[in-house]
Structure 1
Amino acid sequence: MYPQLFSPGVQHTLELVGIFVFAMSGALLAVRKNFDVFGMAVLAEVTALGGGLIRDVVIGAVPPVAFTDLGFFLTPLAATALVFFLHPQVERIQIAVNVFDAAGLGLFCVAGTLKAYEYGLGLTASATLGMATAVGGGVLRDMLANEVPSLLRWDRDLYAVPAVVGSAMAAVCIKLDALTPATMGLAVMVAFVLRLLAMRYHWRAPRAWHRRSTVKEVQPEEVAV
């Protein structure tokens, strides 16, 4: 068992905050897609809990925590209610939502990596599942909304890369037997700051070298994953 970054109570509270922000991004996409309130709730739940659900099923941590912690299930519903009634106001604070989303990304990629390793996976697989914990919900959300996942689009600021870096740092700390609350916090902060910088300077992954494509390039409005 590895040390926790925060006390169990603080860790749980931060996880609920991250879940709430992830859920808001799902509910907002549902509003843009003109979904009804049930569709909003589904996208909110999937966005908030999908990554952790994938991780828990893969590592055999069943039933997944999404089904054993009532707070995890109810928090996305609270986010849905907020967006249902106040979505114009929420849209206006999208920058703040994205900042909290970036913090959740950092926390979940590291926590996911550690949990996967504790269940017996190797370092590479653990880091991969850590990344999936952080970004998997957004992929499922986009698929349900009939969109190309933001993770695969060249015209979106880097999102998965910061999660990969944070997960990889946690895995390296495990390998070097240097995993402490301080190094865990550093991995979280690096992922968080990388995501903020990507949003600020619109960093994007390169496309194929000497690419030849007939696909029309469109610059869509940036949304949080």
Structure 2
Amino acid sequence: MTTLAFLDYASVLVFALTGALVASRAQLDLIGFAFIACLTAVGGGTIRDVLLNRDPVFWIGNPNYIMIACAAALLIFFTAPLVESRYRWLLWLDSFAFAIAVPAGVVLAIDMQQPALIVVLMGILTGCMGGLLRDVVCNEVPLVLKQGELYVTAALTGALVGFWVNVATGDIKLVMISCAGATWILRAGSLAFGWQLPTYRSRPPRM
């Protein structure tokens, strides 16, 4: 299994779990669980592949990704009632999926010899879009847009770290580890310790 395939499998599984948890909060039926799980699991990677003109899109070339997402939805459908704080589980699972998906975008863009800006943007898009689609469809406030959350900032930082590690070493496994580590540390710090960037505060207009 290639590094990119491993990242895609891992991000599909964990993002599917988060999608199913959001479906449980929306009290959907089993088909709804499967739909939201699949949308979350492959949304970011699909946008990445379409923009990079990758043929075929990863889950069309290998439908096992969809099967994994559906299995995750089935698991959560039957076990979600046993979880006391589903939102807390959602936040932490999303942070892990997010930290896997960002290097998946970075590694593919590097493999396709894209310039620095595209490498970084593909990391951000792959990490953020699946969760954004999940939250919008389920009428949740998107995590990516919540005030004070380090989300896009974490993806940007992780993607930049991955890019520069590749420039310095050319070691894809090191790129994956450093990108995932930087992304997750910032996201986890935001969840656990309230790390955040200054937010815009409007002032009354001057007369």
Query: Shorter-normalised TM-score: what interval?
Result: 0.7 to 0.9
Cα pair 2:158 2:183 within 8 Å, conserved: yes
Q: Distance in 2 between matches of 1:14 and 1:122?
A: 21
The alignment's C-alpha RMSD in Å is: 2.5
Which aligned pairs between 1:160-179 and structure 2 lie closer than 5 A? 160-174=152-166, 176-179=167-170
Structure 1 residue 31 and structure 2 residue 24: aligned? yes
Report the alpha carbon displacement of residue 120 of structure 1 after superposing the two structures with TM. Answer: 4.3
TM (norm. structure 2) is: 0.84
* Greater helix content: 2
The equivalences for 1:1-225 within 5 A come to 8=1, 12-13=5-6, 15-92=8-85, 98-154=91-147, 157-174=149-166, 176-180=167-171, 181-210=173-202
Residue ranges of structure 2 left out of the alignment (5+ in a row): none
Helix, strand or coil at the partner of 2:169:
coil
Q: Which runs of 5+ in 1 are unaligned?
A: 1-7, 213-225
Q: Indicate the larger mover: 176-185 or 76-85.
A: 176-185
Q: Deviations over 1:103-135 (max 9, x none)?
A: 332232122112123334321122111111111
Going from structure 1 to structure 2, the CA distance change for 1:130 and 1:211 (only over 3 Å counts) comes to farther
Q: Deviation per CA, 1:43-85, whole angstroms, max 9, x where unpaired?
A: 1111111000000000000221111212211111011101111
Distance, in Å, in 1 between the alignment partners of 2:128 and 2:21 is 17
Residues 177-186 or 39-48, more deviating: 177-186
**Structure 2 CA distance for partners of 1:17 and 1:90, relative to 1, 3 Å:** farther
Q: Which moved more, 1:23-32 or 1:102-111?
A: 102-111
User: Within 2, Cα distance between the matches of 1:14 and 1:117?
Assistant: 14
Separation in 2, partners of 1:70, 1:91: 33
CA contact (8 A) 1:154 1:206 kept: no
Distance 1:207 1:60 in 2: 36
SS where residue 28 of structure 2 aligns? coil
How far apart in 1 are the matches of 2:54 and 2:37? 23
How far residue 142 of structure 1 moved from its aligned partner, in angstroms, is: 1.6
* Residue pair 2:4, 2:108 contacting (<8 A) in 1 also: no
Are residues 158 and 19 of structure 1, via their aligned partners in 2, closer, same or farther at CA, if it must alter by over 3 Å?
same
Contact 1:138–1:149, Cα closer than 8 Å, also in 2: yes
